[in-house]
Chains A and B, each alone.
Chain A
Amino acid sequence: MQAGQSVFSDAVTEASSRRGFLARAGKLLLAVGSGGIVAGALRTQAAQAHHFCGHTYTTGSCPHPTGLPRVDRRGFPLRAADGKPVDDLGRPIDKAGRPVDAQGRLLRDPDGNPLPPAPRTRVCQGAAKTYGFRAYLDGSWYRCCGGHVRRLVDCCGYVSTRINGDAALTGYCYHGRHVFCVMYYDSKIKC
């Protein structure tokens, strides 16, 4: 069985372009429930990945307050280690954007008022503002990472160079746009 998994995973990873894999995303999700074989395949992909699981190309991370470019469904930054929402200063925050302590309690000034919120910027928009282009989220692809389906998202723009400083790739960007940087969203769907 192990050998079979390995052959299958090799076949998947070797034959899969990112677009091809997106086309088979439905099959992947169907296969999620059946576990072992797909997990074996995806373990192989993780081993081939670059600086985070599922990212098999070389484009760098989008600038993120805490480093790894983990985002929520709306593209706002989350702390990669625990998925806690953070503001642009990297502080954990509550739903209203106010800073909280490690236990999730609201931080208050000596008068008992909540400490002021800091700006919180969508990660792709933040990159676009910093590097001077208009941000587009055109497409994404999926991998199984840490036992959950991870959506990997290209931050696109009309750019010729990517965050790495070299030529930008097309990736999942359309209408002549290119990938400037990448980020990811960890779903709760087990795989």
Chain B
Amino acid sequence: MVGTVSAARELGGRKALVAAAAAYAAGLGLGAVLVFGALGAIGVALNPGHVFLVAAAVLAAAAVISDLAGLRVRPQVHLQVPEPWRRSMPLPRALFLYGVLLGTGVSTFVPAAAGWALLPLSVGLASVPAVIMVGLSFAAGRALPVLLLVARGGDEGALAERPEGLRALRVLAAASLALTLVAGTARAATPVASPGGDPSAAGGDVVWQQPGVGGFLLRDGVKTQLPGTDPALGGPYVTWRSGDAVTVADAATLTPSLQVMVPGVEKLAVSDQWLAYRVRLADGSEQLRAFALADPTVTAVVSRAQPAGRLGRPSLTGEVVVYHLASTTRSRLFSFDLSTGKRRLLRSSRRVLLLNPARIGGRLLYVREGRCSQQLRLGPVDANGGGRVLYQLPALAGQDLGHEPGHTTQGEHLPCAHHPKPTSRMLWTTAISGTTAYVTVLRPGSGGQMTPSLLSIAR
């Protein structure tokens, strides 16, 4: 292809060369967008889920190893672009069409196993825009070596006839794919407990609540049932409750160090100095409160009383409680400093639902339930930016056609660019440690009551 593009310089000078190179690059882009866009659409339609994505990632890892080791690329496509095109039609048109064929990635010789690995990964990503970006990157990867060689007046023998050239290309492809696997936003989640939810994490330990059974602690791969419900970890402590009796214990030995009666207590959070909790009041409303472990007799009010279901459970790091407050007018994430009594608005939205924050250092983990997807996000505490998406589920509701039967599509306006395949599963409570994020996924049970499952996601 280097020779074909270079031929334009001989036929029409520098301008013709630029036109030929542009036509080739445009063709590559178009071919890649068509094929990868289709793969993304297939992914959206099939919504293959995390098992498929994990399998695709495993295949990709195998491709990385294969390219690094220089193993033969299998399977192979024994076809080539139609050579007569460059003689039978204007060169830019022929190069554009060559680009379209090569941009598909599967119509001619596949130089690196990474090329094959991209196909299932693209389906697994289940996102047309993301997969189109993959395709455009692939097209750029195919275009750049050719264009660079053309610009330097070189010949394609550097790639096609010298093993070092192809070897370098495969190593680059492998490195790109490995980086994508490591840094990509598509992450595989690992089940921790089902049923199980409302996690709390510290160090390598995680605790959760199993509805109707009680609290559990997972430490070094060993699961231990705790002598109470709604457990939480923080600092050197673990806490749980039995009815209204709250116990704070040493996290290492589970030896109780403090027991307090808190009428109506529901959810707990603990740090090295404080215990925060959500309490149900006599009128059915809920409120967040806290007390210092050194003086449990003095109660600090964290939030005003709210109708049941609007206040999230507290999450506590040091002296700062974070929590959500949801209403039909807006959704907000707050922090409350127990030492100063200052409340800060961390995130606010009038269009999406922001839920269940957890904080570690300067990072905030939270759930963002949007119209077109549900996301577990990790971002800076202080900025109202989106942050990174660690885990994602489809939207909670579908959409109609945008037009009535028998009417045209002219003027319709749909909320999501692609028809969402809604799910009844909902992202819920979160927890975070130095290496791992945890999220509860609720799925519908009997009588409208939701059943939780707990997932872990590497940060």
Contacts and interface: CB of A to CB of B under 8 A. Distances in A.
A51 B411 contact: yes
Contacts of B197: 110
Nearest to B356: A116
Most buried by B among A62, A67, A69, A79: A67
A89 B370 contact: yes
B191 interface: no
B449 A112 contact: yes
A119 B399 CA distance: 18
A46 to B, nearest CB: 8
Nearest to A115: B309
Interface residues of A, number: 59
A64 B415 contact: yes
B266 A111 contact: yes
A52 B397 contact: no
Given A68-B402, A119-B351, A89 B397 contact: yes
Interface stretch (A4-12, A18-26, A31-39, A99-107): A99-107
Given A86-B397, A113-B308, A119-B331, A67 B448 contact: no
B399 A51 contact: no
Given A63-B413, A119-B352, A181-B413, A114 B308 contact: yes
A116 B355 contact: yes
Given A52-B407, A101-B448, A81 B413 contact: no
Contacts of A62: 413
Interface residues of B, number: 59
Contacts of B415: 63-67, 90
A68 to B, nearest CB: 5
B168 to A, nearest CB: 47
A89 B447 contact: no
A154 interface: no
B310 A163 contact: no
Contacts of B409: 51
Contacts of A55: 411
Interface of A is mostly: loop
A88 B396 CA distance: 11
B349 interface: yes
A44 interface: no
Given A51-B407, A87-B328, A90-B398, A109 B450 contact: yes
A119 B448 contact: no
B343 interface: no
A37 B452 CA distance: 58
B207 interface: no
Contact of B408 (A51, A66, A67, A182): A51
A53 interface: yes
Interface in A136-191: 163-164, 181-182
Contacts of B331: 116, 118-119
B412 A67 contact: yes
B396 A91 contact: yes
Given A90-B371, A108-B448, A114-B308, A119 B411 contact: no
A58 interface: yes
Contacts of B452: 110
Contact of A105 (B414, B422, B447): B447
Given A51-B410, A68-B400, A116-B310, 14 more contacts: A51-B402, A51-B404, A51-B411, A61-B413, A64-B413, A65-B415, A67-B402, A67-B414, A90-B397, A115-B426, A117-B310, A118-B369, A119-B351, A181-B413
17 contacts: A51-B412, A53-B404, A58-B410, A61-B402, A66-B400, A89-B352, A89-B370, A90-B397, A90-B398, A96-B307, A113-B286, A115-B450, A116-B312, A116-B326, A117-B326, A119-B327, A120-B328
